[in-house]
Amino acid sequence: MNTRSAELYKKALDLLPGGVSRNTVLRSPHPPYADYGKGCRLTDLDGLTRLDFSNNMASLLHGHAFPAVVNAVTEQLKKGSAFTMATEIEVRYADFLIQRNPSFEKLRFVNSGTEAVMTALKASRAFTGKPKIAKVEGAYHGGYDYAEVSQIPTPDNWGNIDHPRSVPTAHGTPESALQDVVILPFNDVNRAIAILNAHADELACVLLDLMPHRVGLRPANASFVETIRQWTQKHNVLLVLDEVITFRTEVGGLQQQYNIKPDLTALGKAIGGGFPVGAITGRADVMDVMNPLAENVLFPHSGTFSANPITLTAGLISMELFDESAITRLNALAQRAKDGIEDAIRQTGIKACVTGAGSMFRIHMKEHPPENFREAYLTKEENNKLKRLLNHMYDEGFLMINTCSAALSTPMTETEIDALVSALTRGFQQL
């Protein structure tokens, strides 16, 4: 405990609730404090360097201190960091992103994935004039009251699978908010459609993450996604895709793998080049509810730091270099990791599995990949095994997302992937 990180955390406990500003950095007995990062490695204040397979919760495409981003941002900082004026980079970056996906017709920048989802839901209500939203049980969509309903339900409160309960995440959530959120079981076509039919006249939108992390980081079944898209079109309900995490999987996002065109898409994380960012994009007529030049503005919208030139400069450089070739290479490395992990699971005989798509994957202490949140829910024994595995990986010099998930970055090579697989194999053997 006699380390700089331990000393800092002792002081932080008096200043910050729990000693942190984001729960995901907590570790026992104290969180490590970053000193500097370079490429795919992160060094803490105590001089320990780890391979970073978290990449700030999947937001860093090119790892740490990426030279192209550092240079571009440094030049922009000399000109200023934020203005009460529009900037050229806002137009250039919007044009670039819109060209990556045919469903992106107009776009607005905001400051986080949470804000992007919140804006998409409010735009859906403004466009349809209807109050309710539907979302998948267990899916994380940020901290907005409506988006976070049933984010962490438990067997004690999640209700019958035919009619999942709307469970509050934060104590004090208004009952009115819970009543305006309809919960769907993931990958269950018949149950989902039955629930949607019961609320067809009240729904503004269906909010869907095509590979929700907390639901198991498993891509949605094509039949589930396509059936929901057909249902929304039939009932004049908008389909909103949350691609805050999954946009890194393909040039145009994970939706590129499905035979659908959503009405709105929320973006964030990776499009910021390492800075806070969000964006909402989609159908021009839906996006125009925010048009301040309209005769009747249905959704007045603004933000002091929205489209700030530092973030957009970093984001454009980062995404320009995250082209089809870079994505194909990184996705292949992730597949190499998954194949290696599956081999290790077979060799050690442990009850585990791996899910994911693109450049992300997640390890479960379960024999079979979960289909939905209830199957992904960890038993006490599974949770203990997962913590032991995460602690083992940390001690071996690997930083992972605390669900035992990984998001790759372009500085990684087969060497780092094989080192991860070897360390996981030793962890499985210990378990």
Strand, coil or helix: 277: coil
Give the contacts of 221 (CB within 8 A, at least 6 positions apart). Answer: 187, 189
- For residue 1, pLDDT over 70 is answered with no
Domain boundaries, the chain: 32-61+324-430, 67-320
Q: What does residue 184 show for φ and ψ, rounded to 5 degrees?
A: -115, 140
Torsions phi, psi of 34, nearest 5?
-70, 140
CATH architecture of 67-320: 3-Layer(aba) Sandwich (3.40)
**Cβ pair 213, 242 in contact under 8 A:** no
List pLDDT tens digits, range 325-367: 999 999 999 999 999 999 999 999 999 999 999 999 999 999 9
Fold equal for 32-61+324-430 and 67-320:
no
Burial of 235 (0-12, 13-18, 19+ CB in 10 A): middle
pLDDT in tens, 132-148: 999 999 999 999 999 99
In the block, which residue shows the tokens 């087969």? 414
* CA 344 to the chain's CA centroid: 27
The CATH class of 32-61+324-430 is alpha beta
106-131 residue pLDDT tens: 999 999 999 999 999 999 999 999 99
pLDDT tens for residues 26-62?
888 899 999 999 999 999 999 999 999 999 999 999 9
pLDDT in tens, 223-260: 999 999 999 999 999 999 999 999 999 999 999 999 89
Residues 6+ apart with CB under 8 A from 260: 225, 226, 229, 239
Rounded Cα gap, residues 139 and 208, in angstroms: 8
The CA distance from 286 to 275, in Å, is: 27
DSSP per position, 52-64 = ESSHHHHT-SS-B
